[in-house]
Amino acid sequence: MLKFKNSSLINSLSLIFVGLWGYIEVTSPTALIPVIFGIGILVAYYLSIKIPEKKKIFVHVVLLLTILIFFSLISTRLSKSIDAGDLSLLRVIIMLSTSLIALLSYTKIFIDNRKSKN
C-alpha cells in the first residue's frame, strides 16, 4: 500500500492536472473544483511536513478533503459523465481512482498507527 506521502501527492496532482484538463476542454468554472481540492490537499500535505508538531491536524485535513472530493465526484459528476460517455468519464474515473486509493492508504495508515499504540 502507498505511504501517506505518495498517496497524497498522486491524488493531489491527479486532481489538479485532470481538473485543469477538464476546464480546458469544457471551460466551465465548476471543472476547477477538483483543482481547488487538489491544491488544498497539496498545501495541507506540505504543511504537515514543514510543521511537524501540527502534523496530525494537517493529515486529518488531507483526509477530510479527500473524502469530500471523492463523494462529490460520485454524487454530482459520475452520472453526468456516464450519460455523456466521452472523455469526461475517463477524467472522473481517474480522479475517483486516485482518491479511492488515497482513502484506502490513509485508512491502512490510521489502523497501523492504532495497532502500534496498543
Read off the pLDDT of residues 15-50 as tens digits, 9 standing for 90 and up: 999 999 999 998 889 989 999 999 999 999 999 999
Residue spans of the domains in the chain: they are 4-106
Q: What is the pLDDT of residue 17?
A: 97
- Cα dist from 51 to 26, 43, 78, 106, whole Å: 38, 12, 36, 19
Query: How far is Cα 4 from Cα 109, in angstroms, rounded to an integer?
Result: 7
Rounded to two decimals, the pTM is 0.90
Over 90: is that where the pLDDT of 9 sits?
A: yes
